[in-house]
Amino acid sequence: MSYEVKQSVDTYELFTLIDTESNSSVTVCPERGGIAISCILGGVELFYLEKATLLDPTANIRGGNPILFPICGQLMEGRYEWEGTEYTMRNHGVARNRPWEVVSTTGDGEASITLRLRSDASTRDEFPWDFELLFTYALVGGELYIRQTYSNLSDSAMPYYAGFHPYFRSESKDIVYGTDASQFLDYNDNIVKDVQGEIVLTGLKESVALLDATVPHISFPGPDGSGKVTLRYSDAFRYVVLWQVNGSPFVCVEPWMALNGELNRKDELPMLTAGSKQQLELSIALEK
């Protein structure tokens, strides 16, 4: 068999998608926010992971590919107002800090796992809408696909801007990206700047956001000179945020639907009508 799904336990239950023909695997931890903690494509580990943050249930995981929903980034003082009521929500929303349910796995034609997260009393304290998220991680032909369905189960339109926060192994923090974006917002000084060759992240504390890309993909060098990593994503992911931490060998390349603080501004806030759903996709490939 070329495809299979294996279960194991390392503090948490883990599911590893395996594509033997392409020497690829992806490991998912449903209990820790439905996160993919490893992405090996063509024998090369693409993701960075600080395992101690995975094993500590009180910590935000630094590494892998955290799921961001219903917001990306931060809110002003961690708060927002909706129809006269003030709510508090943590950075990046409610999905990355809650256990997801395993719906199914398959090795038929692909190695895949489908996970579900539904709203409950605790999510409604932070985000007063009923929702269901269905995510399928599928490893096919040495490429990872993340198929997403966002459903609004409420009787009113639901604001949301989802995204991902993948940590890619990289010794260099100053990279020329394959993108048609011509400008980026530098959150370190809040100045919009031109993209001219490499984007220098070395020494920066805050992130930068590519603003005006029209083609929904971005590429950059793989770890250890292993080729080129390419992310392709649905048009709804209008921005890509770049972030690093000094002294840590990773660069985050993050597709977002809206910019930091949009639930406060409400200038270009995506809305999902009552009873409807939106289906999106992100793929990660390594081209050698």
Determine the Cα–Cα distance for residues 109 and 118; give it in Å rounded to an integer: 28
Average pLDDT over every residue of 157-181: 97
> What pLDDT is attached to residue 1?
65
Q: If you average pLDDT over residues 149-165, what whole number do you get?
A: 98
Can you tell me the distance from the alpha carbon of 149 to that of 145, in angstroms, rounded to the nearest whole number? Answer: 13
Rounded-to-integer distance, Cα 100 and Cα 46, Å = 23
In this predicted structure, the answer to whether residue 273 has a pLDDT above a threshold of 80 is yes
Average pLDDT score over residue span 161-179 = 97
Average pLDDT, the chain: 97
- For 233-268, what is each residue's pLDDT tens digit? 999 999 999 999 999 999 999 999 999 999 999 999
User: Which residue, among 64, 198, 75, has the nearest Cα to 137 in the 3D structure?
Assistant: 64
Segment 38-46 shows an average pLDDT of 98
- The stretch 94-105 carries a mean pLDDT of 97
Is residue 115 within 8 A of residue 13, CB to CB? The reply is no
* pLDDT at residue 130, as a whole number: 98
Domain 3-167+216-234+265-287 has CATH 2.70.98.10: yes
Confidence of residue 172 (pLDDT cuts 50, 70, 90): very high
Domain boundaries, the chain: 3-167+216-234+265-287
Indicate the pTM of the whole model: 0.97
pLDDT, residue 210, reads 98
Q: What is the pLDDT of residues 43-69, one digit of tens each?
A: 999 999 999 999 999 999 999 999 999
